[in-house]
Each structure stands twice: as C-alpha cells, then as structure tokens.
Chains A and B, each alone.
Chain A
Amino acid sequence: MFGALYAAEGTDQTVLESVAREFSPRIEVCGPREITLDLSGLARLFGDARTIAHELRRTAADRGLRVRVAIAGTRTAARLFVQHRAGITVVEPGTEADALSALPLSLLSQPPTTNHQPPTTTLRQWGLRTLGEFAALPADEVAARLGPAGVEWQRMARGEDRRPLVAAVPEERFEQTLELEWPIDGLEPLSFVLGRLMEPLSAHLERRDRGAAVLHVRLHLVTRAVHERSLELPAPMRDARTLRTLALLDLESHPPDAAIDRITVAVDPTPGRVVQFSLLTRPLPPPEQLSTLAARLAALMGEGRCGSPELVDSWRPGVFAMKPFAPRDSNALHASTPRRHEDTERKNLDSLRASMSPWPVPVNGAASPTVVLRRFRIPIPARVREEDGRPVRVWIDRRGFSGGRVATAAGPWRTSGAWWEEGAVAPKPRSGEGGWDRDEWDVSLAGGATYRLFRERRAEAHSAKADTWFVEGVVD
C-alpha cells in the first residue's frame, strides 16, 4: 500500500519530508511538493487506509501544511489521484484501474515520471478522453502505433508501477562535537579529547562502509575565534588512531592561539577502500601508515621537504618538483586497464628523461649503471684561473671541498634560458631563480674528484666583482 502527499504551493519541502518520515522510513521525493511513501504495515498501528490518510493530513496540518492525500495499492495510482483530487482519496488495492478509468487523459502529463512527454494530442485525435478509454485499447495495437513508450503510458493509465519505490536516504553528517567544561591548553590534553571524538566517528564510518576523504577539525577558542584545519587524506581511511595522529601532527605545526573550549571533528565521507592483496608480490604499506609517516616527516623536516621527486619539462638546470608520496600498487584491480596509456606515458617519460639528464640515458631501462651527479642545490662560488679560455686551477673556499690543479677539462657547453621572463635581467645562480646564461665545464682535479663547474656569463657582464664561477655538483 502506497500513499502520496501533494502540498500547496510555497510549501517547505523539508517540512513535508519530515511529516512523511514520521509515518514511514521509505519515502521517495517525486517533486518539490510531492512525496510518495510506503505505508505497508501501518494498518496495525493506525487502522485502515482512511484512518492513516486522516492521520497524515492532521499531522501535516499541525505543521502548518495543507496537503492532499491519496492512498492506493500502487504508487502510480496514488500519484495520479493526488494530482487530480483535493482532500483525501482512498482506493482499495486491486481496483486501481477501475478507479482511474474516469480520470482525464491530461493527468498523464502531470507526474513527471519519464523523460518523454505523453502523446496526449495523438490520443485526443483518436477520440480518447479518459484514462479508462486509453487503457482499454489492445496493447499490441498501441505498441504498433506509439512504440514501447506507448505501452508504458498505457500501463500507467491502468495504475501499474513501472519500477519499485526508491527510498531516499537521509543525508548523514559524520560529525562529533564536544563542549569542554574547562578550556584546555596544549596538545597533550587535546590528544585525549580527539581520541574520544574519533572513536564514535570511526565506528559510524565503519557502519556505513565509508572512509574519510577530508578531515575537518574546528576548535572554538576562549577568544571566540575559531581555529579550523582541514586535512585532505590521500586515501579513504577510518582508523580512529590514524585520524587522531594526523590531526594532532597537523595541529603541532599549526597550533591554536588560545585555549580551546569546544571541539568539532567532521569528515567528508567517501566509499570505503577495497584492497586485494597478491600472493606473489610484497604488499605496500597501507595508506594510513604512509599518511602518518608523511605527516611525522613533514613535522620534523618542514613542509614540502618530503615526497616523491618529479621531473619537470624544462631546460633549467637542476629543476624538479615534489609530489606527495603515494606509490601505486602494481596489483591494483584496475591496473591492467590503462596498460596502453602507461606504456605511452613511460615512453614519454623516457624521452623526457633522456632530454633532461646531465648524461646520456639508455632509454630502454637497461641495468647498466649511469654516471650520477651530486648536485649542490645552492651552487658554491669558486675561484678559477683560466689559460687560453680553459680552467687550469680551481679554488673552492668551503670546508670539505678540495681545490687544485685541473688535470682534465671538458667544455664549454653553453646554455641559456628564461631570459625572456619578467625580472630575468639579473641572474641569481645561487637561488636558481631568473634566467640563466652559462658555460658549463667538467673538470677532473689532480686529487681525483670530478666537478661540474659553470661560469655565469651575464653576471660577469653586469658586475666585475660578482661571483662568476660556481661549482654545480660533483660526479659520483
């Protein structure tokens, strides 16, 4: 048994929903003013269908709503009646087709149940006026003239349901709040409070098979300010200890200014993670573990100092980017799908690698070792004596670096770039900013070490006193 509620114009839909939910947990919102609800089993609580309808109307009136109520054996019949008649309509189950037969054809276009408009004009041209007349036509003839959609409309005219009721799930808030009797100051007491909040939140997520995509921590301070932090998690997770640790590590880096007197923890839910492990390869650590590690390392070393290196498509010497460390599991279920794209990406990466490497690269992934440069992120100034345009002696005024006579030198290799950018007139080789215009040399000193030197040509042009020679790295 199904019921339909149709409210007057200007009705608040949330109030209408709350009225319907008082009678049944299975409701479907069919429009801004219309709701259908499953009334099965209510007879034992209220009595017959008419009593239920009166109760519905009375409850709505208590909330200040004027509603039409129709109860029938099918959802479609209830919806058609509630559109057509004011007040209360009750149709006995099994008699829907007879009860609907006198209703006008125009009702078919009222409930927006399908994407297609009913062929009411055609039906009128056939001389049909009521739903009963349309329902009485032979189904095969209707299908021959109007197609499968015509049969669907005919079934609707008989009050038959095309699909079962799809119950609307109320929006759940994954949020926990705690008002503190006494304000707390410091992270240690906060740790206990966060633990107490995270446990029920984690249990709630577990019940709904959800994981947290974003973790929000709102701290209401005694100064009436709100200290809010949001953590985007690399993978859906719901382990209470992990979430608490991540929140605490973030608050260690960004502590609140004053004592806290109310704490709210909320998460943006996302479907839970399903992992299939392999018998053949070693499993990767779970994302919860990697996230905690990344947060601890970031707190120790500083933001942006930990992650995976990434090549950048640029000719600037030593340029790179950092991204969060999130290794992909080679046994992921969807790993086989984008295989072709991965091959293409790998080829592109190989060519990019070959173009950016300080040394030539075997792009076929061969196992033969390649020469490696240890790069000084901030180039070290050096003094170089030149003869015939070639370096013959190097002095490096830094402890731990040996200068000396140049035994062998190769170069110069001239590169320049970014001279077209704004503010690139004065190069800053020490910070790696601005444009560059340099001659690079590889030099082996008498002591055995091989360095990569470069002479900044534009610095030389701008100032005679500027450091023009730098050590960029050591071949190792």
Chain B
Amino acid sequence: MANNALARIESALRERKLDRTLTSALAPLERSDAAAFIPFGVEAIDGVLRGGLPRGQVSEIAGSPSSGRTTLLLQLLSAATRGGEITALVDTCDRLDVASAAAAAIDLDRLLWIRGESRLVLSERSESKDRVVDRAIKALTLVLQAGGFAVVAIDLADVHPRVLKSLPFTTWLRLQRIVEGSDTACLLVTPEPLARSAGGLTVMCTGRTKWSAAQTQSGATQQTRHTHRVTGLETEIRVVSPRRRVDGAVRFTAVANDY
C-alpha cells in the first residue's frame, strides 16, 4: 500500500519535472555527451566552452557594438547548418547582412530568418519599441514551440537595455520551460546579460578591430601617405554563468584579410 502511494507521488513529481529538485540520487539533467552541445566549429571556443552551446537551455551572448557578438552568432548558425540541422534567427531590428551570413558559410536554405522592424532606430517612441520587442519574443516562442530547430536565436543587441529590463523576468523562465528537454538551443544576443539561465551559458564578448597600416605614394609630388585597412576583429569571450565552470577566457580573431 505504502509502496503504491510512494510510486504515485514519484510519478506525479516526474510528470511535473520536480523529481530532480527533491533528490540528488537521480542522474543529473545536464547531459555531457557530444550530442548535447552544438559546437561553434572553432576549436578554441569549443574547447573553453567544453563542447559548445548546450541544447535544451537558454544561453546568451552579450556585448557592446564591435565586440564580435554577431560574428559569434553567425559562426554558431554556420556550424549548425553545415551539420545538416535547421536554425532560426528572430532579427528584432532587421540587422542581418545576408552577404555576411553567406560569407560565414551559413547554408541559407536552412536558416529561417524572421525580420523585425527596420525602422526601430528611427522611432524614438518607447511604446513602439516595446511592441516590436513583444512581437519578436512571440515569434521566438512560436518557433521554439514548433520544435525541430537546432538553434533558435533572437537578436536583441540593438534594443535599449531599459526596454529589455522592463520585460517581465518570467519571459525567460517561460522560454527555458519550452526548450527544456528538447534538442534546441535558445540563444539571446543582448547588450547586457539578461536571462542568466542556470543551465545555459552566458558569454560576454569584448572586441577590438584590427587594422593594418601601409605606406603608399600618390600624386605627382609622390607624397607618402599612411593608408589603413580592417584586417579582422579580435574578440575575447568569457563565460559568466554561475554554474558553468570554464577554463578561463579565450580569444579568437575573425578575419577580413585581402580587403
């Protein structure tokens, strides 16, 4: 009798996914096999992140302009699509440069691009921005609920932090609840860490544009001038998630040579 009651309680807890919160005897939810991560395809990054971005979690890439966060995002989409999986990008402010995406070797046929409002920066009205962000998060929810995508990313990098902070915190919990247990990695690209998911990664990016200088002589007077060109973008990534131990920071350089 007692055994039946215990079995019923355990079953109810398992249905509500509460069993692991009450006991440490069960196997951990976090998977450690290679299939549980989506690699970035760059050895240094995957090494420090111990496999890549975890599936079934909400992760974040945060940073300021020119910090390399979009490079990192496109690199992830590229690796996933080249692996035969499909991806989705909710582009809140319609910032994706298709030529850059193609240059990052993304299989464009496997990328679902959901374009938000291009005029967001032109409209200073806060209610308009709120509406655009709300719509983008609804689109993100729809894609996550549909399932079957390896990476579903939302680009909130150009949304003001004040607008993002005004969103209810339950938004991110709800997203976490949707992706939990699935093979989808949900990724937020933000100016500042926002969701701080316990199981996901929060990656901070800081970047520096690399320039090269050359001396050229021009004009009839053979005047010597210093000309520059962009040769790359050096990005340092650092994981700030509380529960994910990583082996320090790592730097990688996105190339723009022969420019």
Residues of A within 8 A of B (CB): 281-285, 289-290, 292-293, 296-297, 300-301, 305-311, 318, 320, 322, 325-328, 330, 349, 353-354, 356-362, 365-378, 380, 398-402, 408-410, 442, 444, 448-450, 473-476
Contact among B104, B112, B147, B208 for A369, CB-based, below 8 A: B104
Q: CB distance A410 to B70 under 8 Å?
A: no
Contact among B108, B211, B230, B252 for A310, CB-based, below 8 A: B108
Question: In the assembled complex, which residues on chain A have CB atoms less than 8 Å from the CB atom of B115?
Answer: 301, 305-306
Contact among A301, A309, A410 for B227, CB-based, below 8 A: A410
Q: In chain B, residues 30-88, which have Cβ atoms closer than 8 Å to a Cβ of chain A? A: 41-42, 64-72, 74-75, 78-79, 82, 84-86
Interface flags, B95-116, vs A, CB<8A=1, else 0: 1111111111100111111111
Question: In the assembled complex, which residues on chain B have CB atoms less than 8 Å from the CB atom of A308?
Answer: 108-113
Q: In the complex, A283 Cα to B60 Cα: how many Å?
A: 26
8 smallest CB-CB distances across A and B, nearest first, come from: A285-B148, A320-B98, A377-B118, A375-B97, A371-B256, A476-B70, A357-B103, A369-B254
Q: In chain B, residues 139-167, which have Cβ atoms closer than 8 Å to a Cβ of chain A? A: 139, 142-143, 146-150, 157-158, 160
Question: In the assembled complex, which residues on chain A have CB atoms less than 8 Å from the CB atom of B85?
Answer: 282
Known: A356-B102, A367-B79, A449-B65. A301 touches B109 (CB 8 A): no
Cβ of B188 to closest chain A Cβ, rounded Å: 15
Q: In chain B, residues 232-259, which have Cβ atoms closer than 8 Å to a Cβ of chain A? A: 232-233, 252-259
Count residues on chain B whose CB falls below 8 Å from chain A CBs.
77
Q: CB distance B255 to A369 under 8 Å?
A: yes
Q: CB distance B112 to A476 under 8 Å?
A: no
Q: CB distance B42 to A372 under 8 Å?
A: no
Contact among B70, B122, B157 for A378, CB-based, below 8 A: B122
Cβ of B20 to closest chain A Cβ, rounded Å: 26
Q: In the complex, A373 Cα to B82 Cα: how many Å?
A: 21
| Chain B residue nearest to A309 in the complex (CB) | B98
Known: A410-B228, A442-B230. A374 touches B82 (CB 8 A): no
Q: CB distance A380 to B109 under 8 Å?
A: no
Contact among A360, A368, A372, A444 for B74, CB-based, below 8 A: A372
Residue B127 is within 8 A (CB to CB) of chain A in the complex: no
24 sampled A-B residue pairs with Cβ under 8 A: A282-B84, A289-B148, A293-B142, A300-B139, A301-B115, A305-B114, A306-B113, A307-B112, A308-B112, A318-B99, A358-B99, A360-B256, A360-B258, A361-B102, A367-B78, A367-B105, A371-B256, A372-B97, A442-B229, A444-B66, A450-B66, A450-B209, A473-B95, A475-B66
Q: In the complex, A282 Cα to B99 Cα: how many Å?
A: 28
| Chain B residue nearest to A364 in the complex (CB) | B105
Q: In the complex, A362 Cα to B84 Cα: how many Å?
A: 20
Q: In the complex, A330 Cα to B211 Cα: how many Å?
A: 41
Q: In the complex, A401 Cα to B122 Cα: how many Å?
A: 12
Residue from A310, A353, A374, A474 having most chain B Cβ neighbours under 10 A: A374
Question: In the assembled complex, which residues on chain B have CB atoms less than 8 Å from the CB atom of A359?
Answer: 100, 103, 230, 256, 259
Residue B183 is within 8 A (CB to CB) of chain A in the complex: yes
Known: A305-B114, A311-B108, A449-B64. A353 touches B103 (CB 8 A): yes
Q: CB distance A309 to B148 under 8 Å?
A: no
Question: In the assembled complex, which residues on chain A have CB atoms less than 8 Å from the CB atom of B139?
Answer: 297, 300-301
Q: In the complex, A279 Cα to B148 Cα: how many Å?
A: 16
Cβ of A275 to closest chain B Cβ, rounded Å: 14
Question: In the assembled complex, which residues on chain A have CB atoms less than 8 Å from the CB atom of B149?
Answer: 285
Question: In the assembled complex, which residues on chain A have CB atoms less than 8 Å from the CB atom of B252?
Answer: 369
Cβ of A348 to closest chain B Cβ, rounded Å: 12
Q: In the complex, A448 Cα to B79 Cα: how many Å?
A: 28
Question: In the assembled complex, which residues on chain A have CB atoms less than 8 Å from the CB atom of B13?
Answer: none
Residue B12 is within 8 A (CB to CB) of chain A in the complex: no
Q: CB distance A371 to B233 under 8 Å?
A: yes
Known: A311-B98, A357-B102, A367-B79. A372 touches B254 (CB 8 A): yes
Known: A359-B103, A360-B259. A328 touches B109 (CB 8 A): yes
Cβ of A390 to closest chain B Cβ, rounded Å: 10
Cβ of A307 to closest chain B Cβ, rounded Å: 7
Q: CB distance B102 to A353 under 8 Å?
A: yes
| Chain A residue nearest to B65 in the complex (CB) | A449
Question: In the assembled complex, which residues on chain A have CB atoms less than 8 Å from the CB atom of B79?
Answer: 367
| Chain A residue nearest to B100 in the complex (CB) | A372
Residue from A322, A372, A398, A442 having most chain B Cβ neighbours under 10 A: A372
Q: CB distance A365 to B105 under 8 Å?
A: yes
Q: In the complex, A284 Cα to B259 Cα: how many Å?
A: 38
Question: In the assembled complex, which residues on chain B have CB atoms less than 8 Å from the CB atom of A284?
Answer: 86, 148
Cβ of A373 to closest chain B Cβ, rounded Å: 5
Q: CB distance A309 to B96 under 8 Å?
A: yes
| Chain B residue nearest to A377 in the complex (CB) | B118
Residue B138 is within 8 A (CB to CB) of chain A in the complex: yes
Q: In chain B, residues 176-212, which have Cβ atoms closer than 8 Å to a Cβ of chain A? A: 183, 207-209, 211
Cβ of A413 to closest chain B Cβ, rounded Å: 9
Question: In the assembled complex, which residues on chain B have CB atoms less than 8 Å from the CB atom of A297?
Answer: 114, 139, 142-143
Q: CB distance A311 to B122 under 8 Å?
A: no
Contact among B94, B109, B142, B157 for A327, CB-based, below 8 A: B109
Contact among B97, B122, B258 for A318, CB-based, below 8 A: B97
Q: CB distance B96 to A444 under 8 Å?
A: no
Question: In the assembled complex, which residues on chain A have CB atoms less than 8 Å from the CB atom of B69?
Answer: 476
Q: In the complex, A296 Cα to B207 Cα: how many Å?
A: 38
Known: A305-B115, A320-B98, A370-B71. A399 touches B146 (CB 8 A): no
Question: In the assembled complex, which residues on chain B have CB atoms less than 8 Å from the CB atom of A409?
Answer: 228
Q: CB distance A372 to B104 under 8 Å?
A: yes
Q: CB distance A300 to B138 under 8 Å?
A: yes
Q: CB distance B110 to A374 under 8 Å?
A: no
Q: In the complex, A450 Cα to B68 Cα: how many Å?
A: 11
| Chain A residue nearest to B82 in the complex (CB) | A365
Q: CB distance A370 to B103 under 8 Å?
A: yes
Q: CB distance A330 to B71 under 8 Å?
A: no
Question: In the assembled complex, which residues on chain B have CB atoms less than 8 Å from the CB atom of A293?
Answer: 142-143, 146
Q: CB distance A367 to B41 under 8 Å?
A: yes
Q: CB distance B256 to A368 under 8 Å?
A: no
| Chain B residue nearest to A325 in the complex (CB) | B112
Q: In the complex, A318 Cα to B149 Cα: how many Å?
A: 27
Question: In the assembled complex, which residues on chain B have CB atoms less than 8 Å from the CB atom of A305?
Answer: 114-116
Q: In the complex, A376 Cα to B229 Cα: how many Å?
A: 22
Cβ of B152 to closest chain A Cβ, rounded Å: 11
Known: A367-B79, A376-B121. A306 touches B232 (CB 8 A): no
Residue B124 is within 8 A (CB to CB) of chain A in the complex: yes
Q: CB distance A285 to B146 under 8 Å?
A: yes
